[in-house]
Amino acid sequence: MNFLPRIAYADPLVSPAQPPLVSLDEQTQTRNKYLVERDSNQLYHADASTIFNWARENIAAPIVVTLSMENTVLAELASTHLPEADFLFLETGYHFPETLEVAAKVEKRYPNTLLRSVPVLSVSEQNRTYGPSLYRTNPTACCRMRKVEPLAASLSNYSAWVTGLRRADGPTRATTPAIELDAQGRIKINPLVTWTLEETETYTRTHNLIRHPLTDQGYLSIGCATCTLPVAEGQDPRAGRWAGSTKTECGLHL
């Protein structure tokens, strides 16, 4: 009986070579640390406009706004409060087609430049290198290669970044601050942090924003199509992410 040779895949703990990262200069890191220590407590319960105004008044450009495209509230507010900021979308290669359609509509609707960050390896290259369906065999490694590392590379040109994190999204985000320092000393700004899912939906409808069609099908938190399911009534919005595993975060916000 003939047996096919076993394919030796690369260790998923070892990522492919990444582009060199640009570190923040020491002066900017010191300034960022000072701002967060000074203002984090007073902004903890602040509304989105207050947090955006703080960013505009205290942070020298450039700032980038990261968009998941599950809703477009952040894009709408950022285009008003930070019109010179870039938008950033992580093109993981595994998005729902509907998510890509929302991204295309955002690019047309808002004047901010939409940048698209891609992993070092395409999906097919990753399959050949680390084995098929890494999102199943090692979802943490897959998220690292397709989200965390591309984001780190894209942030190299910025001193601060804006996210759509909300405390209401689930237990792991319940105490998220309005502003914080990330591991590289950049200021991470979370202007929607006090918003509920209901407030997000109401704002979307009231202002006729671009809506992700899957939100009407029970997808309250939308990531890669391979790792996202709709949630049951009463579950927290992120219950459908990596369903069936203990994983709750992709690593972008840890």
Q: How far, in Å, CA of 103 to CA of 94, rounded?
A: 14
Of 90, 250, 251, 252, the catalytic one is 250
Run of H or E residues at 37: helix 26-43
Q: Active site includes 250?
A: yes
pLDDT at 172 over 90: no
Q: Match 């591991």 to its residue by tokens.
A: 183
Task: Report, as an integer, the average pLDDT of 103-130.
Answer: 97
Lowest-confidence segment of 59-63, 133-137, 189-193, 243-247 by average pLDDT:
243-247
| Domain range summary for the chain, segments of one domain joined by + | 26-216
- Mean pLDDT across the stretch 70-94? 96
Structure confidence at residue 229 (pLDDT): 82
Element housing 141 (H / E): helix 139-143
pLDDT (0 to 100) of residue 214: 93
Confidence of residue 160 (pLDDT cuts 50, 70, 90): very high
User: In whole numbers, what is the pLDDT of the chain averaged over residues?
Assistant: 90
Judged against a pLDDT cut of 90, whether residue 5 lies above it is answered with: no
Residue 222 marked as a ligand binder = no
Residue 144 annotated as binding site: no
pLDDT in the model for residue 132: 94
The closest of 243, 224, 230, 233 to 98, measured between CA atoms, is: 224
Residue 142, marked binder: yes
Per-residue pLDDT at 41 exceeds 90: yes
What is the pLDDT, as a whole number, of residue 22? 83
* Residue 221 DSSP one-character state: S
| E strand or H helix at 135 | helix 134-137
What are 120-156's pLDDT values in tens digits? 999 999 999 999 999 999 999 999 999 999 999 999 9
pTM: 0.90
Residue 227 annotated as binding site: yes
**Token couple for 16:** 């492919």
8 burial via Cβ count (<10 Å: 0-12, 13-18, 19+): exposed
| 26-216 maps to CATH 3.40.50.620 | yes
The structure tokens listed for 116 are: 């698209």
* Tokens (6 digits) for 179: 């502003």
pLDDT of residue 245: 67
The identity of residue 74, as a single letter, is L
Report the pLDDT value the prediction gives residue 1, as an integer from 0 to 100.
Answer: 47
